[in-house]
Amino acid sequence: MIPRYALPEMESIFADESRFGRWVEIELLATEAHSVLGTVPAVDAAACRAAAPQVDAKFIEDVLQREQVTDHDVAAFVDVMQSRIGGSASSWIHYGLTSSDIVDTAWCWMLRDAADLLIDASTKLLRVVTNLAKAHRDTVMIGRTHGVHAEPTTFGAKVALWALQIDRDRSRLQAARDNIAVCKLSGAVGTYSNIDPRVEQSVATALGLRAVPATQVISRDRHAEYMWACAAVGNTCEMIAVELRHLQRTEVREVEEGFKVGQKGSSAMPHKRNPISAETITGLSRVLRGNLQAAMQDVALWHERDISHSSVERIVLPDSSMLAHYVLHRLRRLLEGLQVSPERMKQNLYSSHGLVFSQPVLLALVQSGLSRDEAYRIVQEAAAASWAHSTDFRKTLEADSRLVRVDKKVLDEAFDLKRSLVHIDRVFIALDAIKN
């Protein structure tokens, strides 16, 4: 991942120091578990812990250099770790284990911790969105379908629906976290032929993971589920970002991204205030979806394992974790500084001359005794004339001789904005039910 889109707390989880540090800890915990069972002398397990190497730049460099000889990263790591511990006790490192026992357990440990950061970031974003929704509960605006004026809604109701989806994303992240927080130390094909299952359970307990049956590798449907949760986060953030981009267009101008002192919107045009955060989020969501496709293809491996998944995961698991975390943070920052224009929303609502009340007018005419088709044609013709000549929709209707017998009160109710929003509380009841 390029540094531009990586926040320190997430990046540190996948750094070489962290990864090798986890490998060291898993090896030590396994050796200590063997000693409890009597397989490894307790004095040797204690010696391994006491002389355990510090994972620093020199350790990492030594592993990479050793890998030039072994052409195997875990074998190189084990060689260097044993060399640093020294003595006969070091021979017990990696006893009964295969590479995937270390690598897969470490991956799941890292992804568990990454998921915790994502859940926390989702919760923080949810709070911001919830507050924004409640602040604009009654901020009336036009609802659009196909990009065209439809019927009135409120900005708060729109944002409340975002919050409900963010909460669903949080639930997906929690489920993915639960399914990825697992451990596997069962040997070459997962049969425990050279290691007692109690070693696996001991390591799992120490790391706060759950021991699960496996082949040589943990099933990659777990990783794919985690990647789907990351991609879903991207989808939601993109959905919100695309809406904000539309609402910021010059012709609409209902919201604007915050613009700090000294910021420049364009290197050429000083007047520009572009939706850069929303557009960045949109772009990064594409990468998250692309990475998901790669993760889905990693599920099918040959027999008890191959390494076709390994090279993919080294890229997509850290990158998607960091990107999902980044877009959650970037969207929260965008919404915290969002400038909302209730007056512009109201202007846009009425800019179509009252056409947004066409459906309640249609229903009112049906209630007045007209057939639905006849009522539809009358309203449609009046709407077309009103739009073509920029005239008031209601006045156009009232001038139609076919409606002379329609009670004025019927039209009053049809054109009443409060009528359109009478049930807006429904979405806020659902919003209040969310547990932050």
Which residues does the annotation mark as catalytic? 146, 266
Kind plus residue range of the DSSP H or E element containing 136: none
CB contact burial 374-389 (16+ within 10 A = b; e otherwise): ebeebbeebbeebeee
* Residue 85 to residue 302: CA distance in whole angstroms: 36
**Among positive and negative, which fits the CA dihedral 245, 250, 253, 259?**
positive
Tokens of 78: 């084990």
Tokens of 250: 């010059």
* Residue 234 to residue 325: CA distance in whole angstroms: 9
Give the chain's radius of gyration (CA, Å). Answer: 30
Q: What are phi and psi of 154, to 5 degrees?
A: -125, 155
Kind plus residue range of the DSSP H or E element containing 15: none
E strands, 229-293, where? 255-256
Longest alpha-carbon distance in the chain: 104
Length of the chain as a residue count: 436
Q: What is residue 340's three-state secondary structure?
A: strand
How many of the other CB atoms lie within 10 Å of CB of 61? 12
* CA neighbor of 296 nearest in space, from 194, 360, 381, 223: 223
Task: Give yes or no for a contact between 40 and 95, defined as CB atoms under 8 angstroms apart.
Answer: yes
Q: What angle do CA 121, 179, 300 make, to 5 degrees?
A: 115
Q: How many CA atoms lie within 13 A of 48 on its CB side?
A: 29
* Residue 309 to residue 220: CA distance in whole angstroms: 9
* CA neighbor of 363 nearest in space, from 351, 355, 372: 372
* Residue 185 to residue 192: CA distance in whole angstroms: 8
